[in-house]
């Protein structure tokens, strides 16, 4: 068995993916601490596996694996004598996707959805996603994310949890507030007060429904917007920080690097003359 080294994903930016065919020999991806991004892996043929809390689940054609940030990775090719073909993608979701990323869980942070009913359409969108990611367009990442969003929307229609569990209207209201005022001072205390909840109850409910804390969500929205400014404008780093709600440019750079793997200046420099991120 070949084991992928204990290292974080190679994602630098917002999205990274590939079509993978594993033939003879079993391969295991083992990351005990997980990664800082989300991972999705769609089985197209053959057999894969994912292990959670000591229990192994087989992934067949139409199995779509989703692992949240900070969750242990233990998955791979099941049989040494058979091939496993899948498309994988590491990504930072757009903030409004998060309510759609609540799927049936195998364990905390590890989810599996049967998408065989819509697999043909999902496979097409995922191949288009890869084509966009590899293109020389300055909008390559954004176009790839558009196709990934289409995949996630298709999955939402197949997700049994979405048929029974709706987003609490107070949580939805808080998402709207963050979207409108991410560039302004915005604390969890103020946010909870605006939606008529105590801070503790709001934090618990938000975390349950969004799979991350309110503060982490606010920062996620700000950093996604900052990445757009860096790709699409010539604003200085301090200006980008200010326009995305960070009062301190150094702190902004530190948080940006933690999220995207490189500091803001290098992230911008990674865009070549055609605008294609080279990292």
43 and 112 inside one domain: yes
The whole domain housing 208 covers 169-269
Residue 53 lies in a domain: yes
Q: How many domains does the chain have?
A: 2
Which CATH number belongs to the domain containing residue 110 in this structure? 2.60.120.280
Bridge-based pairing of strands 63-67 and 110-114 is antiparallel
User: Which residue, 216, 224, 146, 209, is CA-closest to 173?
Assistant: 209
The whole-number average pLDDT for the span 151-180 is 83
146 and 173 inside one domain: no
Residue 277 lies in a domain: no
Residues in Cβ contact with 240 at an 8 Å cutoff, skipping those fewer than 6 apart? 226, 229, 230, 233, 252, 264
144 and 25 inside one domain: yes
Residue 275 lies in a domain: no
Task: Note the pLDDT tens digit of each residue in 131-164.
Answer: 998 888 888 888 999 999 999 999 988 888 775 4
86 and 212 inside one domain: no
User: Which residue, 274, 268, 16, 267, is CA-closest to 141?
Assistant: 16
Residue 279 lies in a domain: no
Domain boundary among 113, 141, 163: 163
Lowest mean pLDDT among 95-99, 104-108, 253-257: 95-99
Confidence of residue 210 (pLDDT cuts 50, 70, 90): confident
Bridge-based pairing of strands 15-22 and 84-91 is antiparallel
- Residue 187, token pair as written in the block: 């604390």
Helix, strand, coil shares of the chain as percentages rounded to 5? 45, 20, 35
User: Which residue, 94, 75, 91, is CA-closest to 10?
Assistant: 91
237 and 159 inside one domain: no
Q: Is the pLDDT of residue 277 over 50?
A: no
Domain boundary among 133, 148, 163: 163
The confidence score (pLDDT) of residue 238 equals: 94
Domain boundary among 148, 163, 178: 163
55 and 184 inside one domain: no
Q: Is the pLDDT of residue 104 over 90?
A: no
Q: What is the pTM of this model?
A: 0.67
199 membership: H or E segment, kind and range: helix 199-210
Share of the chain above pLDDT 90, in %: 44
């Amino acid at each position: 068995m070949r084991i992928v080294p204990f290292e974080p994903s190679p994602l630098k930016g917002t999205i990274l993916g590939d079509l993978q065919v594993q033939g003879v020999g079993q391969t295991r991806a083992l990351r005990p601490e997980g990664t800082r991004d989300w991972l999705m892996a769609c089985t197209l043929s053959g057999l894969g596996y994912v292990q959670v809390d000591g229990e192994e689940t087989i992934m067949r054609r139409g199995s779509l694996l989703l692992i949240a940030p900070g969750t242990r990775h233990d998955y791979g090719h099941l049989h040494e004598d058979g091939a496993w073909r899948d498309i994988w993608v590491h990504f930072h979701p757009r903030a409004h996707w998060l309510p759609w990323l609540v799927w049936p869980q195998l364990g905390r942070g590890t989810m599996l959805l049967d998408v065989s009913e819509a697999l043909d359409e999902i496979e097409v969108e995922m191949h288009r996603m890869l084509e966009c990611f590899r293109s020389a367009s300055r909008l390559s990442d954004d176009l790839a994310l558009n196709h990934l969003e289409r995949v996630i929307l298709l999955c939402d229609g197949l997700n049994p949890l979405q048929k029974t569990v709706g987003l609490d209207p107070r949580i939805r209201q808080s998402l709207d507030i963050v979207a409108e005022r991410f560039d302004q001072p915005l604390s969890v205390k103020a946010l909870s007060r605006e939606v008529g909840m105590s801070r503790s109850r709001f934090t618990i409910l938000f975390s349950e429904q969004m799979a991350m804390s309110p503060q982490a969500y606010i920062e996620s929205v700000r950093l996604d917007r900052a990445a757009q400014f860096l790709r699409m404008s010539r604003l200085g780093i301090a200006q980008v920080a200010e326009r995305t709600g960070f009062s301190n440019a150094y702190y902004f750079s530190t948080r940006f690097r933690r999220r995207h793997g490189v500091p803001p200046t290098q992230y911008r420099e990674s865009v070549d003359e055609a605008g294609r991120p080279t990292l």
